[in-house]
Amino acid sequence: MAELRTAVSRLRRQLAALRADFPDRAIAEDELAALAAMAAAGVPEIPRLRASLLLIAGAIGSMSALARGLSQVRAAVDLFGEPPRG
């Protein structure tokens, strides 16, 4: 949980510092807030973690300034196990 909290916090700060506006910024901010809340509660819902990660990745797109932070969030989510095979 600590890695998830740290990674989400870092990406939220990077996003807040980013001056560029983009169409899906609010989505990224909302999903990061949801991840932060789950991390703070200490009881992650794995499918919800993964869904939030996908929404954040889609919202951020290919913004190179946020690529490292997004990778760290993904690595933290991956610590909770493999995604379900469907």
Mean pLDDT for 12-20 is 93
pLDDT band per the 50, 70, 90 thresholds, residue 85: low
pTM for this prediction = 0.89
Q: What is the pLDDT of residue 74?
A: 95
Q: Which of 4, 15, 10 is closest to 37 using CA atoms? A: 4
Q: Name the residue with higher pLDDT: 32 or 63.
A: 32
Note the Cα 21 to chain centre separation in Å: 18
- The whole-number average pLDDT for the span 27-35 is 96
Tell me what pLDDT residue 62 has.
78
Structure tokens at 44: 């992650």
pLDDT of residue 70: 96
Q: Give me the pLDDT at residue 7, please.
A: 97
CB 28 within 8 A of CB 67: no
Per-residue pLDDT at 68 = 95
